[in-house]
Structure 1
């Protein structure tokens, strides 16, 4: 591993300005990368999600339910499902990930009225799934299983997103899926997205787990610091991480993706975020919509306006993605 890259001003830019960030390349896949992810996806497709619902009343004009369903390794994870507003037939299903630590309640800001939505909670995270299949973040979640490609927690969490999609479709019908995820959820989404053709698009917000060649050189305040310290003490773990680089996975994306990247971020260093965006190659049939924002993982003046524009942009992106998918279906 090369020398550490300092962040002298403490602003989280690490000396990278926008032109340099747009030039950060994705990491090339190791031998067997696509084959292993395709095998995991094929196995996940055979699993009956068997969702069981507990009504929770109404939220945002929708019927809201607590759901437990089957995920990888035969576990039963919990999350939330909500219908489209007013019970209208949904046009799309949103699988809505979360940041590191889990979520404690649904958040509908990026969910259109005519969408059903499933809010999975990652194994080991949040009050719903604390300790299920992995330790909590405080107890080392991001290092769980890092000795093994088949057992590493990031892979298991990405596989669980496919199971969340299956649970959503079991409850809402065979509608197209769209993914939304921020930070941890953005990186996990990038890992999962290329291998499941039920997903027609995604919004990835300040995505984590991108460009480990750089990420392991960038001290940070997020979960990446725990990984960086571990790999420093156990260099063999670097070979496992090659199969969980979000920038590598993004080179296999074939659908439109909106990526929101921050110029400064002390939790998820910007070079890793931009590597995910830079990996999305229109020549492969993918389509990148890049939104460059001033900061990630912090409050700042103007944040509310940035968020409002981003929420509206995700809604517009979903509309365009569904129109494209419909056109491709009519003219294959």
Structure 2
């Protein structure tokens, strides 16, 4: 039973986080190479702007902001699921190699599959999901022992090993590719938000519409999976079945996000931690906050990064890593 005071606190934090997303998005609409006066943003959104103002907001800024928020939400939810099913606070799709697997699949798809402009946007998440699924399956198999189940520490070590190996494979793939394709993959690896058109939003949105309610429905089971394996089995939970189903959801979320934003890590690590610090470890409470927190973190990183230098700015993945790497080191030392 969730106490009314805790529930009220959760709702207040959700409202504040959502407000911060809206404020950051509004600020981002007015910043950039072709600036739009802030007093013209609302009229333009209501259809009263000039051709230039409408073009800048509706064709450039607004799609980028929306895709960034949605991708941050997907990465945060993926990290939340992974931390619960592995009982490891260091689990993140970027750290344990899932993003790298998706990246290799995207690179192979981009380099070797004939590109159809009509379906390219929608096939990218599918290609990324296949690569991430294969990688996560191998990581799971190497981390699992029949006598002790899934070892959280072994999972991180195996994941880091796979991430390193896949990074090497990526170098091999791009070493003989055309210059234009190498430039695209290099930007992808840096975490550059490149899928900034409305079709990318349409490609990403269904994954979130399906998997956010699904994860919230599974929140109680995630609480049980966070306990020791004998306790989870003792209360009647089909541990391996639930873990595999939720792992698939985490993989799908991470793959769909990185297919349009590039190799961004640490959002799935930081957002759940911040949320747990605010409302505690119960999944029903911290997951909704984590989802919004992920969107806010990536939106702030992209807004800051793209306005620091001209003309292309600094990739959001680099900005997030500047915060995430020290935070990861802090958590690693804290666990010792």
TM-score by length of 2: 0.28
Flag the structure with more relative contact order, 1 or 2, with Cα contacts below 8 A and sequence separation at least 6. 2
Q: Which has the higher strand share?
A: 1
TM-score for both structures, normalised by structure 1: 0.28
